[in-house]
Amino acid sequence: MFSPSGLSECLREWDELEKDYQQVQDTQRLYKQKLEEVTKLQNSCSSAIDRQRKKLKELTASLGKCKGTRPTDLSPEDMASIAEIKESIKEKTDTFFEMEAFLPKKNGLYLGLVLGNVSVTLLNKQTKFAYKDEYEKFKLILTVILFIFSFTCQFLFSYRVLDALFNFLLVWYYCTLTIRESVLISNGSRIKGWWAFHHYLSTFLSGVMLTWPEGALYQMFRSQFLGYNLYQSFVQFLQYYYQSGCLYRLRALGEGHNMDVTVEGFQSWMWRGLTFLLPFLFFGHFWQFYNSVTLFRMFQLPECKEWQVLMCGCSYMALFMGNFLTTLRVVYQKYMGNQDKSKSV
For each of the chain's 345 residues, which pLDDT tens digit applies?
A: 555 567 788 888 888 888 899 999 999 999 999 989 988 998 899 899 999 989 988 888 888 777 666 666 677 787 888 888 888 888 888 888 878 777 888 887 888 888 888 878 887 778 888 888 888 889 989 999 999 999 999 999 889 999 999 999 999 999 999 999 888 888 877 777 788 888 999 999 999 999 999 989 999 999 999 999 999 999 888 887 776 666 555 555 444 455 554 444 444 444 444 467 788 888 999 999 999 999 999 999 998 889 999 999 999 999 999 999 988 887 777 666 555 444 443
Determine the Cα–Cα distance for residues 338 and 200; give it in Å rounded to an integer.
34
Q: Provide the pLDDT for residue 3.
A: 59
Determine the Cα–Cα distance for residues 38 and 32; give it in Å rounded to an integer.
10
Determine the Cα–Cα distance for residues 26 and 33; give it in Å rounded to an integer.
11
Q: Provide the pLDDT for residue 341.
A: 45
Cβ–Cβ < 8 Å for 320, 289: yes
Q: Provide the pLDDT for residue 70.
A: 62
Determine the Cα–Cα distance for residues 283 and 277; give it in Å rounded to an integer.
10
Q: Can you give the pTM of this predicted structure?
A: 0.76
Determine the Cα–Cα distance for residues 238 and 242; give it in Å rounded to an integer.
6
Q: Provide the pLDDT for residue 278.
A: 82
Q: Provide the pLDDT for residue 69.
A: 63
Determine the Cα–Cα distance for residues 102 and 125; give it in Å rounded to an integer.
9
Q: Provide the pLDDT for residue 336.
A: 63
Cβ–Cβ < 8 Å for 218, 153: no
Contacts (Cβ under 8 Å, ≥6 apart) of 239? 262, 263, 264, 277
Q: Provide the pLDDT for residue 184.
A: 86
State the SS3 of the chain: CCCCCCHHHHHHHHHHHHHHHHHHHHHHHHHHHHHHHHHHHHHHHHHHHHHHHHHHHHHHHHHHHHHHHCHHHCCHHHHHHHHHHHHHHHHHHHHHHHHHCCCCCCCCHHHHHHHCCCCCCCCCHHHHHHHHHHHHHHHHHHHHHHHHHHHHHHHHCCCHHHHHHHHHHHHHHHHHHHHHHHHHHHCCCCCCCHHHHHHHHHHHHHHHHHHCCCCHHHHHHHHHHHHHHHHHHHHHHHHHHHHHHHHHHHHHCCCCCCCCCCCCCCCHHHHHCCCCHHHHHHHHHHHHHHHHHHHHHHHCCCCCCCHHHHHHHHHHHHHHHHHHHHHHHHHHHHHHHHHHHHHHC
Q: Provide the pLDDT for residue 265.
A: 45
Q: Provide the pLDDT for residue 270.
A: 47
Contacts (Cβ under 8 Å, ≥6 apart) of 260? 189, 190, 247, 250, 251, 269
Query: How many other CB atoms are there within 10 angstroms of residue 218's CB atom?
Result: 18
What φ, ψ does residue 104 adopt, rounded to 5°?
A: -60, 140
